[in-house]
Amino acid sequence: MGMKPTNTSDPDYFHKVVDCQYACPAHTPVPDYIRLIAQGRYTDAYMMNRRSNVFPGILGRVCDRPCEPACRRTRVEDEPVAICRLKRVAADHRDEVKHLMPEIMPSNGKKIALIGAGPASLTVANDLAPLGYDCTIFEALEKPGGLMISNIPSFRLPEKVLGDEIGYILDMGVKLKTGHRIDSMKAMLEDGYDAIFVGSGAPKGKDLNLPGREDAADNIHIGIEWLESVAFDHIEEIGRKVLIIGVGNTAMDCCRTSLRLGSDSVKVMARKPRQFFKASPWELKDAEHENVEIIVNHSPKAFVTENGRLTGMVFEVMEYEVDDKGKITETRTTGEVTLPCDDVILAIGQDNAFPWIERDIGMEFDKWETPIVDKTTFESTRKGVFFGGDAAFGPLNIIWAVEHGHQAAISIHKHCMGESLTDRLPRSVNLETAKMGPNEWSYSNDYDPDARSDMPEVDLVERFKTLDIEVELGFTPEQIKTEVERCLNCDLQTVFSAPACTECDACIDICPVNCLTITANGGEADLRTRLSAPADNTDQALYVSEGLPNTARVMVKDEDLCLHCGLCAERCPTAAWDMQKSTIFLPHADDELAAYASRRAAE
């Protein structure tokens, strides 16, 4: 049995080829905005970003960047395109954008309450306020932003960047009530809102109950709470010797913040070896660059106190057997050490906590005491109450919170219009030829072998002078110029038309990465072994044509290493290959409203 011809009208097929966009929870059209940056159209690039990820300036600094490990460039050479840094370029160099924000439609009389002023709630407000919804955000802290302000230190994310981008949303007529903690969902439900969105995050940092915990309470801090206190100026100093327990991204923020509050020896203590670290590789690198020491295989055992004051911490030294799949098969303790310290910061994870939601209001909770939330609609089991961000499925990241917000906004809109929440607009794909003339394309198709640019930073003395000196300076004009050319334009698709093929082999011969083959059809596993180069990466699709006119064989393209250079199309004598720009349509709440309006008009 041979493979069926690839269905290129399936919106997911070509979307998957754009690895970065597919990996992004909000599906930001990365190659599209990189081309705009290349043309110096920073404002357009910013607005294109804003459409999908709402916070380009913020995310251009602190995004978790799922796009970068996915980048095709990591397969073709080693380093991905610096996508996140280019996003920052668009934000840093944009002109005034206030007049480009969506027009606000007249009120539709629907009132929405949003709990927590983090990225999820802000996204919901961003999507719904322009459609005429009356949105009110309730925030317990004095400033909006959620963990973006309370947990991300200002040397990574300046308050002005945050303020500007939250400002665009509040300027849409969104009401913000700060210092207003919600204590009762029941009371909220009685307040007459048409829908309630919970974007209150995962606010409970995990504690570590080891011997001595009580005695040394003054000098043991919970990471996210401590960062919040620093952000709101409630804590301004820390001891000279600090131990950070845990090795996730919060730990990285804690250790680097400690260095700025007077500590001169910071050690991050990890229970396991480096390959098990949760922190992003670049955050680890940034911390180590500031001389933070990361110590592996040390499991916390007890806090040591003298005269009621913390003086050190006892660790068990661990040894692990790891199998070839990277799984730990055996754990051994080989000894014990005591490390002296003045303060300990616990950054070992965080949990959702909903003490303020009554359990008798028709909302079901699971065994972890978190509400049951639908993965598509983001609605809880109580109609009209929606969840998103960390509050929905536990700690993720900002970009996921944004996507939850977009989807919840669609649901809230449909809920308010009395429509089915699951009957959502489908994704779709549009293809348009990129051919401008003989061997001329609407994009820069040449491959640029330049290496990834390093981010210029404030030097290692200057940066510690105050807490809010932004470490990363942004790309220089030269760096922008080379980095944009590193993008392989994966959204410029190779599209094949079998009836036009004469089987001359020209495309196969010119392909720089041997990704094309004409061969007899077969099952996928079999075909993968019979191509010009073996197609070992099964995560990447094979593009299989219909039978070719002369021999009934098929054209097979392994999408894995394609450079999107267009040489196949340039060497094709019959234009059987064409380079076509794929645009993925991903509906937002305003698209649903437009569809709703046209359905009503048709009735």
Note the residues at the interface with other proteins (CB under 8 A): 76-77, 439-441, 445-447, 449, 502-506, 508-510, 512-514, 533, 549-551, 561, 563, 565-567, 570-574
Q: Which lies closer to other proteins via its Cβ, residue 394 or residue 512? A: 512
Q: Which lies closer to other proteins via its Cβ, residue 154 or residue 580? A: 580
Cα–Cα separations (whole angstroms), residue 601 to 293, 341, 413, 597: 65, 70, 18, 6
Q: Which lies closer to other proteins via its Cβ, residue 162 or residue 511? A: 511
To the nearest whole angstrom, how small is the minimum distance from the Cβ of residue 478 to other proteins? Answer: 22
Cα–Cα distance, 407 to 425 (Å, whole number): 11
Q: What share of the chain is helix, strand, coil (3-state, %, to 5)?
A: 35, 20, 45
Q: Which lies closer to other proteins via its Cβ, residue 131 or residue 507? A: 507
Cα–Cα distance, 436 to 250 (Å, whole number): 49
Axis crossing angle, helix 249-260 with helix 281-289, rounded to the nearest 10: 20
To the nearest whole angstrom, how small is the minimum distance from the Cβ of residue 17 to other proteins? Answer: 17
To the nearest whole angstrom, how small is the minimum distance from the Cβ of residue 415 to other proteins? Answer: 50
Cα–Cα distance, 154 to 468 (Å, whole number): 5
Strands across the sheet containing 428-433: 428-433, 577-585, 492-496
What Rg do the C-alpha atoms of the chain give, in angstroms?
27
The angle subtended at Cα 486 by Cα 483 and Cα 490, nearest 5°, is 130
To the nearest whole angstrom, how small is the minimum distance from the Cβ of residue 23 to other proteins? Answer: 21
Q: Which lies closer to other proteins via its Cβ, residue 218 or residue 505? A: 505
Q: Which lies closer to other proteins via its Cβ, residue 63 or residue 572? A: 572
To the nearest whole angstrom, how small is the minimum distance from the Cβ of residue 570 to other proteins? Answer: 5
To the nearest whole angstrom, how small is the minimum distance from the Cβ of residue 435 to other proteins? Answer: 12
To the nearest whole angstrom, how small is the minimum distance from the Cβ of residue 465 to other proteins? Answer: 43
Q: Which lies closer to other proteins via its Cβ, residue 39 or residue 502? A: 502
Residue 158: partners with Cβ closer than 8 Å, 6 or more residues away: 468, 470
Cα 380 to its chain centre, rounded Å, is 24
The pairing of strands 204-205 and 241-245 is unpaired
Q: Which lies closer to other proteins via its Cβ, residue 293 or residue 440? A: 440
Q: Which lies closer to other proteins via its Cβ, residue 42 or residue 496? A: 496
The number of CA neighbours under 13 Å toward the Cβ of 1 is: 3
The answer to whether the beta carbons of residues 382 and 362 sit under 8 Å apart is yes
Q: Which lies closer to other proteins via its Cβ, residue 90 or residue 515? A: 515
To the nearest whole angstrom, how small is the minimum distance from the Cβ of residue 20 to other proteins? Answer: 18
To the nearest whole angstrom, how small is the minimum distance from the Cβ of residue 438 to other proteins? Answer: 9
To the nearest whole angstrom, how small is the minimum distance from the Cβ of residue 448 to other proteins? Answer: 9
To the nearest whole angstrom, how small is the minimum distance from the Cβ of residue 526 to other proteins? Answer: 16
DSSP label at residue 548: P
To the nearest whole angstrom, how small is the minimum distance from the Cβ of residue 268 to other proteins? Answer: 34
CB atoms within 10 A of CB 44: 19
Q: Which lies closer to other proteins via its Cβ, residue 68 or residue 570? A: 570
H/E element, 492: strand 492-496
The angle subtended at Cα 324 by Cα 74 and Cα 540, nearest 5°, is 35
Alpha helices in 447-603 (DSSP H): 477-486, 506-510, 524-529, 567-571, 589-602
Cα–Cα distance, 472 to 329 (Å, whole number): 40
Q: Which lies closer to other proteins via its Cβ, residue 226 or residue 443? A: 443
DSSP label at residue 592: H
Q: Extract the tokens encoding 8.
A: 């290129």
The angle subtended at Cα 62 by Cα 61 and Cα 67, nearest 5°, is 95
Axis crossing angle, helix 398-416 with helix 42-53, rounded to the nearest 10: 70
